Amino acid sequence: MRYIFPPTAPVTLAVLGTSARFPVRRIYCVGRNYNEHVKEMGGDITRSEPVFFTKAAETLVASGQDIPYPPNTQELHHEVELVVAIGPDGIFAYGVGIDLTRRDLQTKAKAQGGPWARAKNFQRSAPCSTLTRAEDVDISRAHIVLRKNGDIVQSSSLNKMIWSVEEIIRYLQKDMDLQAGDLIYTGTPAGVGPVAIGDELSGGIEGLERITVRFV
């Protein structure tokens, strides 16, 4: 095969306990998946169709990295989330992710009925921890926490998700041709808030590796 220019190398994530990497295909994100977060955003908590949006694989950031504060926002927000990694036989692994959001651009997009792409799918907008294989952990009732500079800012339990991991996967399989390599950011609990230059975010879910990033 000849290319006009060298193709981009695949984006990959580390997996705990093996040197083999997880090759990432697409990133799906679920919006409005914890009632307390729907309420804090001024939304209606009646259960309706799940809300999905996407980020490019290239937006992933591994734990321990510095993230330059992104352009065109005065309101970068953190959203800690369970990340589900799909393998050839269903759920392969879990991780802890942060769905970084340019909230001011999202508020404007919502008001105009426009897409969320600029608010959500920008460079380095998807920090994600090292993955832990699903067979090695039971996360069904695990606690999820985000600390900003050491202080807890988001705290909930994964069993409070409106749409369960299994329901999200079933929906995406029917709707979007879910395949091995796909990641799903499963939505954030309440407590989303601003990030400033110099801040350190550290997200954790019981039984999983942490995600820690600093803004520069």
Residues that bind Mn ion (CB under 5 A): 79, 99, 188
Residue closer to Mn ion by CB (options 79, 209) is 79
Residue closer to Mn ion by CB (options 99, 209) is 99
Task: Give the whole-angstrom CA distance, residue 211 versus residue 100.
Answer: 13
- Give the contacts of 45 (CB within 8 A, at least 6 positions apart): 35, 38, 39
- What is the pairing mode between strands 66-67 and 211-215? parallel
Residue closer to Mn ion by CB (options 106, 132) is 106
Q: How far is the CB of 186 from Mn ion (least distance, A)?
A: 9
Q: How far is the CB of 171 from Mn ion (least distance, A)?
A: 16
CA 123 to each of CA 9, 127, 167: distance values in angstroms, whole numbers, following the listed order: 16, 11, 29
> Using an 8 Å Cβ cutoff, are 40 and 192 in contact?
yes
Residue closer to Mn ion by CB (options 190, 208) is 190
Task: Indicate the residue whose CB is closest to Mn ion.
Answer: 99
Q: How far is the CB of 31 from Mn ion (least distance, A)?
A: 6
Q: How far is the CB of 5 from Mn ion (least distance, A)?
A: 34
